[in-house]
Structure 1
Amino acid sequence: MRLSLPTIFSFAVASAALPQPHGPPDPDSPKPFSTFSNRVIWTPPKGGRAMYPRHAELRDGTLLVTANVFGLTGGPGNLPIFPIFESKDGGVTFQWISNLTDQVNGWGMVAQPALYELRKPLGGFKSGTILASGNSWSNNGTRIDLYASTDKARTWQFVSHVAAGGRPNTTNGATPVWEPFLLAYEDELIVYYSDQRDPKHGQKLAHQRSRDLKTWGPVVNDVAYDEYLARPGMTVVAYIPPLKKWILVYELPVGNSSSHGVNYPVHYRLADDPRKFDSAEHIPIVINTKNGTVAPNASPYVVWSPVGGPKGTIVVSDADRSAVYVNTAGADPDKWEIKEVGQPEAYSRALHVFEKRPEHLMVLGGDTFDGNGVGALVNSVLDVRKVLDGDWKPEPDPKPPACKAA
């Protein structure tokens, strides 16, 4: 969470109706489950901006995508909502199938969505249930809430409040909560988030766990620094099978200082257990190139692909470059490389490696933090092998898809 959010906090927007269905898919569209570059999933109403996209791949290969869209309201009270889009062809075409709305606070679902499919029964919900979270906020406070869908994301029900904090304010000393990330592990749901409520820290990363999805355990620190001005933020976690370890990536601004030429340098931690990052070593991603030192900046995301050698490939994205950062040496701090993928920089881009096509990497983006980017929800699906070899080339798609409404 960047330290200044004037655009985000001014979220009073005009209502935007769901788009009407369009005609059949364009025959010139990329083939299903193929690779492509910078394909528009959906363009918000005039003046709207899609940011902070998130996704989940379901067991049957269906892909769900959402984002917070400043400029889009609906549901009870005409409040901010998260639109939910579905793809059955590997991200080539999408249909708008539902909206995640605030059912309990009267504040709207404003920012920082998260999606996750349960692969085992948990908390009274069957395998295949889709969980969603996000930040519902107003001047009265911030709340990370949990919702569930038992019908493939067509309808949603409120499950529980996970964490609550003060009003949305990034000033040190304020007490909001931000940026949930969901992970099921050992018959519990872990909800990671950024937490400003601890008076010892301007901000820290923490998590809470639940077995019934309604009652939540104590706040457990994941990343907390002795220096009060340090503000680790934006937890994303992935598993690296060859290492039998979990990786957590986060941004680390410290006051007004910079590190390695950026103000929100990306760090990572490795742990045997995704509940025990707090004691792990913190490692910055720094890359020495022929043109000097490069470091990723802000809103990182991380995934792992088995492609790229015996240890596979760790892929990290940031907010400020069209490239990604890769490591085929088991997270060795000296072995990071920067690789171009051609999708424009965006605030909190998301990455995904497809389960049945692990050589395919999706890069999911939207607008920049400052509103200087695309504005639309955009994805690319790339071949990891070509990215690693450095011979990635853009695959232009001159005709955007027709995203159908529910």
Structure 2
Amino acid sequence: MTTAVQPLTAAANDPGDSFYTRASSNEFLAYSRIIRLQHSGSANGTLIGTFEHAAKDGTASDFVIRTSKDDGRTWKTLTTLDDPLDGENHPSDQFWQPFLFELPRKMGEFPAGTLLLAGNIAPSEKVRTDFVLWRSTDHGAHWTFQSILQTGGGSVGAPHGGSGIWEPFLTVDGAGRLAMYFSDERREPEYAQILAHMVSNDGGVTWSARPDGSTNFAPGLVVDVQSDVDTDRPGMPTVATLPDGRMVMAYEICGAGRDCEAHTKTSTDGGATWGAGPSDLGKMAVTSDGRYLGSSPYLVWSPAGGPSGRLLLTGMRTRYTGTNAFSPEDRQAVFINDPDLSGPWSWTPAPFGPVADPTQNCSASYSPHLLLDASGRTVRFTTATATGPTGCMEATAVANSGVLPYADAFAKGRSGWVDYGGCWATSGGVLSETCGGTGGNKSIAGSTGWTDYRLAGDVRVDGGAQAGFVVRASDPGKGADALDGYYVGVSSRRIVLGKQNGAWRELAQTAVPGGLATGTWYHLTVKAVGCTLTVTGRPSGSTATPVGFTYKDPDCSFTRGAVGVRDQAGTASWRHVTVTRSG
């Protein structure tokens, strides 16, 4: 792979709401995790969250436990967890890589609804790392330190980096046992880092591996991913369990000559073995329009979007496969695939666009988190972002997870849109682009994997030439014709359909009876089924017979893609955008 260059930046969509805003720049923030209680009786639906937290002046830090009783609209601090360890370099100034887990059923002596928090106590002296486990039996209000689960060295001092342990992830395996997956540097120098797991038969009191990694009982510490290249660093595992019992793991592979590409592989035996074995590095997550995820991936399974549901995968960075440059959706893409991983991934915009600022103690986008609602139709995206009154906050927002039907009334901003040029804002249920120009300003929503659908919405040319909608859009970028897809626009005289793929080709058009005055709302529909596009239009609110046309693309150029809004040589507004299945 070639050396990366900086992205052609796409404007972020809405900045997200505060899940936690730091008091001062002395607080370092990153790596959010939020769960929704599902096995806790009357507390079900409560959100519990935490995040990486460090004190840059070297004083003692903690894990801050936050909660929301109104599905994320407001948050408050429940409690804080101090360093339970003694000795040199404690209390620690760095609390890394938390993971929250709710027991789905009774395990050992602990009832369903018991909360676990595994975190990495890693003092800034970089000499030791400890996975620590706490429990709560009252929905996060109070916590009890249980034990050290694993112990490693620090992040420096070994031939390929450190000798530490990193990024614990808790789940239930196919045998009904509690399992913890994590990254392990302790096999240096033969392996820079491996992925491994251990299991517990009693809800996390005793484990198959002792804290030093030696075997306590079978199966001991199980190696899941290890590369034959000694500098490769598979890391940051997350696991999604499918209804049929299969488990899918996502992880990055960093190291010499790599860019921390996200990979996946599957277990068909309940997590005991993965793919063809530890040396099987899995498949890169690559989209049909040439993007791949890099750095700190996070994977979930959603019941929505297909007969077997879908996998949703996000990460810190998004790059082009061909050049390794960051794509315009960098830091704000969620990849989508079927559970069989049988083809390329598609993508949808994340609910908000994190802001990176290297001058702040703020690790924006590092290990972003996904939390679905029960239906899988909406997804909560949470990560640190360099915004807010003190320059960094843990932000969170919700948007459609890339499924149909889709609707946006722009009542609460623009969650789930990515902009490519232009100046965008919402007010009173209207989305407006106010900069204009000849660059074909556009904003994209939905999924690049959508196939046959009907888009409907109102458009208003506020000044200049024309505006409308794009359908079956993929590979978008800044520039008049910088996307693969179709554009349907309206001007003062006509409705036009054209094809864009780096150049413009008009395909069909019809006159607007009586013309269209600037500042007048006009209702457009576009139905794309197979190779055929049907377009209609009439003044918004009118009962007049719509005008329109049907066009069959002989090249059948674009059979799937997202939706969007676009203007050309002017400014415009949009409202009441809906997309429904068609066929």
TM-score normalised by the shorter chain: which range applies? 0.7 to 0.9
Distance in 1 of aligned mates of 2:17 and 2:400 = 15
TM-score under structure 1 normalisation?
A: 0.78
Determine whether 1:325 maps to 2:335.
Answer: yes
Q: TM-score, normalised by structure 2?
A: 0.55
Counterpart of 1:197? 186
| Cα separation, partners in 2 of 1:387 and 1:203, compared to 1, 3 Å | farther
CA-to-partner distance for each residue in 1:336-361, whole Å, 9 max, x for gaps? 11221252241110001123x43121
Which residue of the partner structure matches residue 373 of structure 2?
A: 354
Q: In 2 relative to 1, CA 49–180 (structure 1 residues): closer, same or farther, beyond 3 Å?
A: same
Question: Deviation digits for residues 297-333 of structure 1, max 9, x if unmatched?
Answer: 1000011111112122211101022111111x33435
Contact 1:234 1:300 in 2 (8 A): yes
Task: Give the Cα separation in 2 of the matches to 1:374 and 1:46.
Answer: 8
Structure with greater proportional strand content: 2
* CA shift in 2, pair 1:227/1:390, >3 Å: farther
Q: Give me the whole-angstrom Cα distance separating, in 1, the residues matched to 2:236 and 2:409.
A: 29
Q: Does 1:184 align with 2:172?
A: yes
Give 1:55-70 correspondences, 5 Å limit: 55-59=34-38, 60-70=44-54
Counterpart in the other structure of 1:114: 99
Q: Residue 390 and residue 169 in structure 1: after superposition, are their counterparts in 2 closer, same or farther (change >3 A)?
A: farther
Q: Higher Cα Rg: structure 1 or 2?
A: 2
Q: Provide the C-alpha distance between the structure 1 equivalents of 2:222 and 2:195, rounded to a whole number of angstroms.
A: 9
Q: Distance in 1 between matches of 2:350 and 2:404?
A: 7
Counting only pairs closer than 5 Å after superposition, residues 11-90 of structure 1 correspond to structure 2 as 38-47=16-25, 48-59=27-38, 60-71=44-55, 79-90=60-71
Letter in 2 for 1:146: L
Query: Does residue 341 in structure 1 map to residue 326 in structure 2?
Result: no
Which has the larger displacement, 201-210 or 40-49? 40-49
How big is the shift at 1:130?
0.4
User: 2:305 touches 2:403 (CA, 8 Å); kept in 1?
Assistant: no
- In structure 2, relative to structure 1, the CA distance for the partners of 1:170 and 1:210 (3 Å cut) is farther
Task: Give, in angstroms, the shift of residue 388 of structure 1.
Answer: 8.8
Contact 2:153 2:162 in 1 (8 A): yes
Single out whichever of 214-223 and 175-184 deviates more from structure 2.
214-223
Write the letter of the residue equivalent to 1:211. N
User: Which residue in the other structure is 1:148 paired with?
Assistant: 135
| Distance (Å, rounded) in 2 between the aligned partners of 1:196 and 1:183 | 22
d(CA) in 1 for partners of 2:80, 2:236: 24
Distance apart, 1:214 and its partner CA: 2.8
Write the letter of the residue equivalent to 2:253: L
The residue aligned with 2:482 is none
Question: What's the secondary structure of 1:366's corresponding residue?
Answer: strand
Question: Secondary structure of 1:207's partner?
Answer: strand
Deviation at 1:276, TM superposition (A): 1.9
Residue matched to 1:246: 247
Whole-angstrom CA distance in 2 between matches of 1:319 and 1:313: 20
Tell me, in whole angstroms, the C-alpha distance in 1 between the residues paired with 2:225 and 2:155. 21
Provide closer, same or farther for how the CA distance between residues 124 and 54 of structure 1 changes in structure 2, counting only shifts above 3 A.
Answer: same
Aligned to 1:268: 264
Deviations 1:8-58 (A, max 9, x none): xxxxxxxxxxxxxxxxxxxxxxxxxxxx97111221122123200012221
Q: What stretches of structure 2 of length at least 5 have no aligned partner?
A: 1-13, 39-43, 209-219, 318-330, 355-364, 415-424, 426-583
The letter of the residue matching 2:163 is T
Quote the Cα distance in structure 1 between the aligned partners of 2:181 and 2:72: 27
Structure 2 Cα separation of the partners of residues 254 and 392 of structure 1: 45
State the Cα distance separating 1:274 from its structure 2 match.
2.0
The more displaced of 213-222 and 299-308 is 213-222
Paired residues of 1:180 and 1:193 also in contact (CA < 8 A): yes
**Residues 386 and 308 of structure 1: CA distance in aligned 2, closer, same or farther (over 3 Å):** closer
Moved over 6 A (4+): 387-394
> What pairs with 1:89-238 in structure 2 (closer than 5 Å)?
89-105=70-86, 106-108=90-92, 110-138=95-123, 139=125, 140-169=127-156, 172=160, 174-185=162-173, 186-199=175-188, 200-212=190-202, 213-217=204-208, 218-238=220-240
Contact 2:351 2:380 in 1 (8 A): no
Cα distance change, pair 122–145 in 1 and its aligned pair in 2 (3 A): same
Deviation at 1:90, TM superposition (A): 1.5
Name the counterpart of 2:496.
none
Change (3 A) 1:302 1:325: same
- Whether contact under 8 Å (2:29, 2:384) holds in the other structure is yes
Kept in 1, the 8 Å contact 2:304–2:403? The answer is: no
Kindly indicate whether the alpha-carbon contact (under 8 Å) linking 1:132 and 1:146 is maintained by their aligned counterparts in 2.
yes
Higher relative contact order (CA 8 A, sep 6+): 1
- Partners of 1:235 and 1:170 lie apart in 2 by 23
SS of corresponding position for 2:288: strand
Between the aligned partners of 1:103 and 1:379, the Cα distance in structure 2 is: 29
Of 386, 399, 413, the residue aligned with 1:396 is: 413
Per-residue CA deviation, residues 35-83 of structure 1 (Å, 9 max, x unaligned), is: x97111221122123200012221211111100123389xxx9622110
The one-letter amino acid of 2:63's match is F
Contact 2:285 2:344 survives alignment (8 Å): no
Asked if the contact 1:62–1:88 (Cα under 8 Å) also holds between the matched residues in 2, the reply is: yes
SS of alignment partner, residue 237 of structure 1: strand
- Which position in structure 2 is the counterpart of 1:21? none
Give 1:376's match in structure 2, choosing from 387, 393, 417. 393
Aligned to 2:498: none
Shift of 1:87: 1.1
In 2, Cα distance between the equivalents of 1:244 and 1:129? 23
The CA deviation string for residues 78-129 of structure 1, in whole angstroms up to 9 with x for no partner, is 6221101111121111111011222124343611001001121223222211
State whether residues 362 and 380 of structure 1, in contact with CA within 8 Å, keep that contact through their aligned partners in structure 2: yes
Partner SS for 2:293: coil
With 385-394 and 164-173 compared, the bigger mean Cα shift is at 385-394
SS at match of 2:142: coil
CA distance in 1 between partners of 2:293 and 2:232 (Å): 17
Which SS does the other structure have where 1:335 is aligned?
coil
Residues 392 and 248 from structure 1, CA distance in 2 versus in 1: closer, same or farther, beyond 3 angstroms?
farther
Q: Which residue of 1 aligns with 2:325?
A: none
Alignment deviations for residues 155-175 of structure 1 (CA, whole Å, 9 cap, x no partner): 111112111011233851631
1:341–1:392 contact (8 Å) kept in structure 2: no
Aligned residues with identical type, % of pairs:
28
